[in-house]
Structure 1
């Protein structure tokens, strides 16, 4: 196992984490920004007003993109397991 192999493996793992978590985190960020602007303009400072739409938004994103996210994770895991003989050499 060479250093290049380990670096590529770590890079692919970090990319997969970003790919899987990115859409839900982006949705939570955008919803939080919109709710914060709404709270600033109306001067309503209720924390539940910020939390519930984020949860619902993340849930909707996971429902919409769930099959694609699962397919990406399964493909990555399959490729990772297929590289085991290269590691054991």
Structure 2
């Protein structure tokens, strides 16, 4: 395996990881920010108030976007299997 092929595979894998993680985490971060602003405005310091909305949004994003995530992972896996001849020979 040449270094160029390895770096290309590594770059694609990192890009895929960033897309999947951002797809799940960004909505949770936005909801956490909104809840934090609400807590600061109302002086409510309840820990569960910030945890539960983020958990529900994360589960909803995984549930609604799971098909998209699995599709990305399947495309990457199929591409890796198609690259086997290039890596071996």
What TM-score, normalized by structure 2, do the two folds share?
Answer: 0.93
Which consecutive residues of structure 2, in runs of 5 or more, have no partner in the other structure? none
Q: Cα deviations across residues 10-37 of structure 1 (Å, max 9, x unaligned)? A: 1100011011111111011101100100
Q: What do you get for the CA RMSD once the two structures are aligned? A: 0.9
CA distance in 1, matches of 2:3, 2:88: 15
Q: How many residues align?
A: 89
- The runs of at least 4 aligned residues of structure 1 exceeding 2 Å deviation read none
What TM-score, normalized by structure 1, do the two folds share?
Answer: 0.93
Which consecutive residues of structure 1, in runs of 5 or more, have no partner in the other structure? none
Report the CA distance between 1:42 and its aligned residue: 0.6
CA distance in 1, matches of 2:32, 2:49: 10
